[in-house]
Amino acid sequence: KPMRLWGGRFEGGPADALTRLSVSVQFDWRLAPYDLLASRAHARVLHRAGLLSESELERMLAALDDLEGACRSGEFRPTVADEDVHTALERGLLERLGALGGKLRAGRSRNDQVATDLRLYLRDNVRYLVSRLVELETALIGQAEEHAATAAPGMTHLQHAQPVSFGHQLLAHVHAIARDVDRLRDWDRRAAVSPLGAGALAGSSLPLDPQAVAQELGFDSAAPNSMDAVADRDFAAEFLFCAALIGVHLSRLGEEIVLWASQEFRWIEMDDAYSTGSSIMPQKKNPDVAELARGKSGRLIGDLTALLTTLKGLPLTYNRDLQEDKEPVFDAVDTLLLVLPAVSGLVSTMRVNTARLEASAPDGFALATDLAELLVRKGVPFRDAHEAVGHLVVWCQVNDTTLDRLTEEDLAKISPHFAAGEKDGGDVPGPLEVLNVQGALAARKAYGGTAPDRVRDQITALREIVDGQ
Ligand code: ARG
């Protein structure tokens, strides 16, 4: 007869269909180490409450250690008859301790246990996740450092807009990831609350000490409301939002890399180790890593949606629906731990086609704004400057030339505003001086701008932030 935690008041056994529906051990078994951790803390609290003698506590802790070893070696495995991780581990304890094993369940319920286990699991795994995010930040910063002064076409609407430092663009992605790390750190503050002691929903009549258990498990405090403690899955939903947003950030970076690696852009060459071939077209080199990063964001968004939908409309307190919290959380953790190292590797090994980036940076009349702003510095209203440069662009199109190839005579023909020498103060450059990409970058030297010096400042600041993460 399979061991259940709730057989007492039932005459017949459960239907097979119920058992198959109800069982969660095939996915919640990964909570076993955390369940054992919480069991040790609970055993100590029972002992302090006088409910376990000194020697019973010692035997209990030794059995938990032994069980942990057996789980780790694979010698102890959950069976299909174990409903969930808690059932399986209680079976393991009973096998080791006989009747004494049955004492550990006093004052706790699977409801506070499972909420505690999931918090412990997530807080632990978020630390790994942060390390992987830091690796990606480091990979991006490394490339940005080499390309702080590499001019590239900056785009809006996927059209050439203004030249930017390619490093500046890479760092934009670092800022997004840095916010993700910050968000996870902030998440941890709210996740650091221990549900243990809440029991099924109302707390325990036994003289337990939830604050002591919380402290032992590395939480900041115990939950102040036992009903909230067992019903709340905000920590899981909030984590899944963080994960989904990381997914979106990876997807946007992935999409850029797909574009950059295309024949039309040719901005980067991916390393062989991070690209794939085609089974039919021998010449192909495909950006599968970037595409999977983009594609996996779909399931991360789905994980968040799944949990929110499960939570919506649940009455207090524990409802079995809550068993559905775990698979989305595990999937999000697994997905990110799989994607992040691949994306980091792709970024750190890609070779940037500097010559092509610099050559195409002025394309699409990307220096037009610089010229208009030059006129503004000479006192021309921006409205008129915009108009004059607009005419100049059309003139260039008609004459099949580009802004950076104009001569002083060309400029003088279009508008008197463009005449060189028409300077108010000594510090206003001539039009030909601003009609070059490096000048355009260097001129954007205010805080947050794309000037290579500011990009290097950003790298220094970001390295400091990343070191602290
Ligand atoms: N396995 C369940 C879960 O993951 C915990 C069991 C609580 N079951 C119950 N009938 N109260 O949520």
Q: Which CATH number characterizes residue 380's domain?
A: 1.10.40.30
Which residue has the CA at smallest separation from atom 6 of ligand 1? Answer: 110
Ligand 1 pocket check for 121: Cβ under 6 Å:
no
Q: Are residues 197 and 242 in the same domain?
A: yes
Distances (CA, A) of 328 to 20, 42, 246, 308, 309: 20, 28, 15, 10, 12
In this structure, are 92 and 139 located in the same domain?
Answer: no
Do 315 and 263 lie in one domain? The reply is yes
* pLDDT tens track for 287-300: 999 999 999 999 99
Q: Which residue has the higher pLDDT, 28 or 430?
A: 28
420 pLDDT exceeds 70? Answer: no
278 catalytic? Reply is: yes
Ligand 1 pocket test, candidate residues 108, 320, 325, most atoms within 8 A of CB = 320
Instruction: Give residue 280's pLDDT band: very low, low, confident or very high (50, 70, 90).
Output: confident
What percentage of the chain reaches a pLDDT higher than 70? 98
Average pLDDT, integer, range 268-280? 92
Looking at residue 93, its pLDDT comes to 97
Structural domains counted in the chain: 3
Q: Is the C-alpha dihedral spanning 30, 31, 34, 35 positive or negative?
A: negative
The residue whose CB lies within 8 Å of the most ligand 1 atoms, and thus the one to mutate among 30, 83, 113, 114, is 114
Q: Does position 145 have pLDDT exceeding 90, yes or no? A: yes
Q: In the prediction, which pLDDT does 405 show?
A: 86
441 domain-assigned: no
Q: Binning pLDDT at 50, 70 and 90, where does residue 80 land?
A: confident
Tell me, yes or no, if 175 is annotated catalytic: no
Residue 427 token pair: 């510090």
Range 163-189 average pLDDT: 98
pLDDT value of residue 456: 98
Residue 361 lies in a domain: no
> 388 and 281: one domain?
no
Same domain? For 101 and 115 the reply is no
Task: Give the C-alpha separation, 67 to 98, whole Å.
Answer: 14
For 397, the token pair is 């199109």
- Angle of helix 452-468 relative to helix 110-146, nearest 10 degrees? 150
Q: Is residue 336 part of a domain?
A: yes
Give the ranges where 199-233 is alpha helix by DSSP (H).
210-216, 226-231
| CA of 24, closest atom in ligand 1 | 1
Residue 114, ligand 1, Cβ within 6 A: yes
Residue 6 maps to a domain: no
Domain match, 135 and 275 both: yes
| 58 CA distance to ligand 1 middle (Å) | 28
* Cβ(322) – ligand 1 distance below 6 Å: yes
- The pLDDT score that the predictor gives to residue 452 is 97
Q: Are 116 and 229 in a shared domain?
A: yes
CA of 289 to the centre of ligand 1 (A): 38
Instruction: With cut-offs at 50, 70 and 90, classify the pLDDT of residue 1.
Output: low
Q: What is the value of ipTM here, to two decimals?
A: 0.96
Confidence of residue 14 (pLDDT cuts 50, 70, 90): confident
Give the model's pLDDT for residue 430.
79
Count CA within 13 A, CB hemisphere, residue 41.
Answer: 26
* CB of 84 closer than 6 angstroms to any ligand 1 atom: yes
Domain that holds residue 336: 111-146+167-211+219-349
E strand or H helix at 194: strand 193-194
> Same domain, yes or no, for 90 and 121?
no
Most ligand 1 atoms within 8 A of CB, residue of 90, 113, 323, 330 to mutate: 323
Residue 360 covered by a domain: no
Residues 101 and 129 reside in one and the same domain: no
Same domain, 140 and 88: no
Mean pLDDT of the chain: 94
- Is a pLDDT exceeding 80 seen at residue 6? no
Q: How confident is the model at residue 263 (pLDDT cuts 50, 70, 90)?
A: very high
Q: What is the pLDDT of residue 2?
A: 63
Average the pLDDT over 81-94 and give the result. Answer: 96
Please list, in sequence order, all residues whose beta carbon lies within 8 angstroms of the beta carbon of residue 408, skipping any fewer than 6 positions away.
420, 431, 432
Q: In which band, very low, low, confident or very high, does the pLDDT at 23 lie, cut at 50, 70 and 90?
A: very high
pLDDT at 417: 79
The contacts of residue 396 (CB under 8 Å, 6+ apart) are: 365, 402, 403, 406
* Domain shared by 140 and 73, yes or no: no
Choice among 55, 157, 205, 279 that is catalytic: 157
pLDDT-derived band of residue 406, with 50, 70 and 90 as boundaries? Answer: confident
